[in-house]
Amino acid sequence: MKVLLLFVATALAEIVGCYLPWLWLRQNGSPWLLVPAAFALAAFVWLLSLHPTATGRVYAAYGGVYVAVALLWLWRVDGVAPSRWDLLGAGLCLAGMAIIMLAPRSS
């Protein structure tokens, strides 16, 4: 559960770090949005470094969580309800993440 929460925090940091520049570029937001965006992206990189396994495995598993968190963002921030296909896809991604992260490993 701790690893899943770390993945969710990592995904939120990445999404915020990318969303704020998008607001600046596409929605005529203030250039000051780039300051918290930079902090969010720095937090994203730092959070990735806290994961307890090999980086390639972390990146692969993180992708599954990112998809699910991005769909939550779609719903809560963009105001667009995910379709059943979105939810099915997110479920498959999370299942893939679980397989990658919870598989037995030889020492």
pTM exceeding 0.95: no
Amino acid found at 38: A
Structure tokens that stand for 23 in this block: 């607001």
CA 15-30-23 angle, to 5 degrees, is 35
Instruction: From first to last of the 107 residues of the chain, give the pLDDT tens digit.
Output: 788 899 999 999 999 999 999 999 999 999 999 999 999 999 999 999 998 788 888 888 899 999 999 999 999 999 999 999 999 999 999 999 999 988 898 86
Task: Count how many residues are written for the chain.
Answer: 107
pLDDT of res. 6:
93
Contact 15, 69 (CB under 8 A): yes
Contact 15, 70 (CB under 8 A): yes
